[in-house]
């Protein structure tokens, strides 16, 4: 069982308005989004493109609803851009999150990513060469140092269609980066969709996991995506992802391992689907109920 003082429950705005495809949910306002998150019983959020980037405005809107910022995604291009340019962008992102009180910064490597390209996500995942690996690992150690200047940590997001997607990719990344500087974000949905064993990854990297995205997968849609050679974004529109409790992944052992390991941090529901087909409030409530039932919090 989780200790209430160790974990906080959040939800990502991507189910209301999708930053990768802003046309999905463009009608949903920022206020509606955070009000519905709070109504469903969540106290944290990541940032979305409709959120004000003014610290006092954002803090006020969230505190009125007893909410706070857990973290936010940063797209790094360490393999394809000069490190100094990524550092400059990262520092702006870090400083905003610091002002908002977040403790972790989500980093994803988007160099060579096919996440937004219209090609089969399961057939064309990028594979990094030696030089890419050197740039990536050196750059991540540097971003980790920059985060720690503000007593924050980076958590690396493995992701479909990127150079860090599979268990092997994660193993290599974890072994080639400094464990005191680079931590891992554990996203159940991306591992399960990729055909990995999420529980094995969780068990192996528990001490390095400092942020969790809870995302479920509809396996029938995942296999249709594979057969039809769909892109990542088309897979999302087809409904490959859903909230915990509504798909095929069993979260119970994940909750148990996290709780037994004394995990401290956020459990953040992140389940992008088309809001026209899956009402965001309804699905947030399904997730909240499932977490209460299976994780006891
Ligand atoms: O953490 C995430 C952020 C999104 O922008 C991304 O595409 C999604 O799948 C995800 O896991
Ligand atoms: Co995620």
Ligand lying nearest the CA atom of residue 186:
2
Distance CA 93, CA 161 (A): 23
Give residue 75 CA to ligand 1 midpoint distance, Å. Answer: 11
Q: Which residue among 266, 272, 273, 274 has the greatest number of ligand 1 atoms within 8 angstroms of its CB, and so is best to mutate?
A: 272
Q: Is 187 in the pocket of ligand 1 (CB under 6 A)?
A: yes
Query: What is the structure's pLDDT at 4?
Result: 87
Query: What is the structure's pLDDT at 1?
Result: 83
Six token digits for residue 60: 């006020």
Distance CA 215, CA 19 (A): 16
Distance CA 264, CA 4 (A): 10
Give residue 129 CA to ligand 2 midpoint distance, Å. Answer: 25
Closest CA to 164 of 151, 153, 175: 175
Closest CA to 14 of 134, 169, 189: 189
Q: What pTM value is reported for the model?
A: 0.98
Q: Is 270 in the pocket of ligand 1 (CB under 6 A)?
A: yes
Cα dist from 274 to 15, 144, 155, whole Å: 7, 34, 27
- Positive/negative CA dihedral, 166, 169, 171, 174: negative
pLDDT tens, per residue, the chain with 297 residues? 899 899 999 999 999 999 999 999 999 999 999 999 999 999 999 999 999 999 999 999 999 999 999 999 999 999 999 999 999 999 999 999 999 999 999 999 999 999 999 999 999 999 999 999 999 999 999 999 999 999 999 999 999 999 999 999 999 999 999 999 999 999 999 999 999 999 999 999 999 999 999 999 999 999 999 999 999 999 999 999 999 999 999 999 999 999 999 899 999 999 999 999 999 999 999 999 999 999 999
Give residue 115 CA to ligand 2 midpoint distance, Å. Answer: 13
Domain ranges of the chain: 7-295
Query: What angle is formed at CA 72 by the lines to CA 54 and CA 7, rounded to 5 degrees?
Result: 115
Q: Is 211 in the pocket of ligand 1 (CB under 6 A)?
A: no
CATH classification code of 7-295: 3.20.20.150
- Positive/negative CA dihedral, 165, 114, 140, 211: negative
Give residue 12 CA to ligand 1 midpoint distance, Å. Answer: 9
Query: What is the structure's pLDDT at 222?
Result: 98
Q: Which residue among 108, 156, 232 has the greatest number of ligand 1 atoms within 8 angstroms of its CB, and so is best to mutate?
A: 108
């Amino acid at each position: 069982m989780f200790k209430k003082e160790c974990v906080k429950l959040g939800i990502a705005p991507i189910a209301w308005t999708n930053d990768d495809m802003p046309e999905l949910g463009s009608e949903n306002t920022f206020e509606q989004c955070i009000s519905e998150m709070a109504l469903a019983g969540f106290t944290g959020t990541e940032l979305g493109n409709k959120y004000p980037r003014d610290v006092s405005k954002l803090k006020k809107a969230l505190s009125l609803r007893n909410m706070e910022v857990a973290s936010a995604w940063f797209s790094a291009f360490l393999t394809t851009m000069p490190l100094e340019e990524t550092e400059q962008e990262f520092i702006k992102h870090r400083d905003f999150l610091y002002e908002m009180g977040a403790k972790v910064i989500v980093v994803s490597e988007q160099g060579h990513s096919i996440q937004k390209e219209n090609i089969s996500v399961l057939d064309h995942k990028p594979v990094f060469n030696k030089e890419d690996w050197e740039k990536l690992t050196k750059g991540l150690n540097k971003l980790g140092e920059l985060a720690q200047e503000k007593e924050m940590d980076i958590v690396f997001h493995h992701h479909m269609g990127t150079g860090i997607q599979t268990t092997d990719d994660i193993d290599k990344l974890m072994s080639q980066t400094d464990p005191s500087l680079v931590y891992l974000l554990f996203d159940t949905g991306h591992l399960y969709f990729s055909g990995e064993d999420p529980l094995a990854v969780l068990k192996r990297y528990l001490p390095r996991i400092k942020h969790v995205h809870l995302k479920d997968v509809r396996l029938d849609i995942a296999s249709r995506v594979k057969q039809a050679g769909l892109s990542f974004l088309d897979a999302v529109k087809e409904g490959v992802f859903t909230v915990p409790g509504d798909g095929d992944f069993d979260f119970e052992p994940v909750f148990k391992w996290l709780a037994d390991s004394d995990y401290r941090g956020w459990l953040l529901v992140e389940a992008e689907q088309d809001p026209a087909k899956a009402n965001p409030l309804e699905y947030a409530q399904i997730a909240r109920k499932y977490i209460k039932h299976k994780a006891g919090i």
